[in-house]
């Protein structure tokens, strides 16, 4: 029953997810789908979900901030010294992202069984693939 509700929710919201609305609404719907999908696929208990999502949200906020520091340079041509400085900054930021992920996993070990943590990354990847496929299918449907 729970899976049926999640599937209906996924399909129903997914149809309207990328309709003509502002980005905030789309982002909120995407997040609701993602939360429902991950919670269902990992079979979180209410306690696990309550403990997991604040940790996950804090990790993602910090990771997003770090990711902003490694965006590609605005211009394609750089001097050798600019390129070296960019590479140094990128490597430092990527190390900070790895350290953050290690801390994230340590924090999760306190609230989830290791099997669920191990599955988390694959489940997130599955969700993204499904969303991309859904968007492509919808776009192709509009063309025909």
pLDDT of residue 127: 96
What integer best gives the mean pLDDT of the chain? Answer: 85
CB atoms within 10 A of CB 87: 10
Q: Rounded CA gap, 144 and 132, in Å?
A: 19
How many other C-beta atoms can be found within 10 angstroms of the C-beta atom of residue 120? 19
| Mean per-residue pLDDT, 96-105 | 98
Which pLDDT tens digit goes with each residue over 33-72? 999 999 999 999 999 999 999 999 999 999 999 998 887 7
pLDDT of 19? 47
Domain parsing of the chain, residue ranges: 1-41+115-144, 45-112
State the pLDDT confidence band at 139, using cuts at 50, 70 and 90: confident
- How high is the pLDDT of residue 21? 57
**Contacts by residues 13-19 (CB-CB < 8 Å, ≥ 24 positions apart):** 14/131, 14/134, 15/138, 17/131, 17/134, 18/135, 18/138
Q: Tell me the pLDDT tens digit for each residue of 107-136.
A: 999 999 999 999 999 999 999 999 999 889
CA distances from 43 to 10, 54, 78, 120 (A): 16, 17, 49, 11
In whole angstroms, what is the distance from residue 61 CA to residue 120 CA?
A: 17
Tokens of 144: 């025909």
Alpha-carbon distance values, 138 to 18, 82, 125, 144 (Å): 9, 43, 20, 10
């Amino acid at each position: 029953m729970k899976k049926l509700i999640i599937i209906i929710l996924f399909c129903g919201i997914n149809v309207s997810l990328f309709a003509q609305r502002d980005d905030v609404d789309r982002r909120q719907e995407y997040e609701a789908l993602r939360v429902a999908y991950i919670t269902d696929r990992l079979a979180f208990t209410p306690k696990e979900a309550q403990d997991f999502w604040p940790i996950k949200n804090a990790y993602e906020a910090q990771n997003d901030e770090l990711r902003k520091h490694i965006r590609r340079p605005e211009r394609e041509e750089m001097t050798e010294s600019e390129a070296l400085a960019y590479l140094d900054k990128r490597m430092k930021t990527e190390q900070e992202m790895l350290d953050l992920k290690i801390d994230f996993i340590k924090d999760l070990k306190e609230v989830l069984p290791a099997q669920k943590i191990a599955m988390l990354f694959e489940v997130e990847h599955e969700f993204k693939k499904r969303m991309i496929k859904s968007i492509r299918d919808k776009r192709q449907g509009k063309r025909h």
